[in-house]
Amino acid sequence: MTIIRNLMLAAMLGAVATSTQAQTTETRRDDRLEVVVRQDDGMGPRSVLARELLDISVGPNFAKEIERAMIDQMGKVGEQGGEEAAWVRANMPPMLARMIDRMLDDMAPIYADIYTEDELRGQIAFYRSPVGQSVAAKAASLGLAVQESQAAVVLSFMTEFQTKYCAQFNCEGARTTTKPSRD
C-alpha cells in the first residue's frame, strides 16, 4: 500500500501544481503586455479527488488480495512446468501489483473528466462510511468473480459466433472449436 500512497501523493502534488498553474494568453495593447488567466474548469482538484476515490473504493488491500488470488491459482498448477513455472510464480505477482497501480493512475483522469467535484466527494464520503468500507473490502473478490463469469460468457459467445459464422461462410482452415491444437 506504500506504493499506492506514494502514487497518490505524487498525483496530488501534480494536481496541485497543475491547478495553480494558470494558462496565459499574451496580447499587446498600447505596448503593454496583458495576461489573461483561464481557469482549468476544476480538473486539478477533481484529479486529486478521483485518485482518492480510486484508492479507497478498491479497498485497503486490493493489490495484495489480487496477488494472493494469483498465487493461489498458480499453486493449483503445482510444481509442473519446472524452471519457467517457478519464474512465473516468483515474478508475476509483483508485476501484477505494479500493473494495478499503473491502471489506477490511468483511470484517475477518466474519473476526473466524467464526475463532477460534488459527485467525487459524495462517492468518497460513501467509501469512508462503514458500509462503504465494507463494500470496498469486497472489491477484489467481486472483481475476480465477475472476471470468471465474464470469461465464461465471452468464451461461449465466441464459440457460438465462430461456429455459426464458419457454417455460413465456410471458414476453410479455421478452427471452429476453442481447443488448442497440438500441431
pLDDT digits (tens, 9 = 90+) for 77-120: 665 667 887 788 788 878 887 888 888 889 999 999 999 999 99
Return the pLDDT at 108. 92
> Is the pTM of the predicted complex or chain greater than 0.75?
no
Long-range CB contacts for residues 161-166, cutoff 8 Å, separation at least 24: none
Return the pLDDT at 11. 43
The pLDDT tens digits for 13-50 are 344 333 333 333 333 445 565 554 444 567 888 999 99
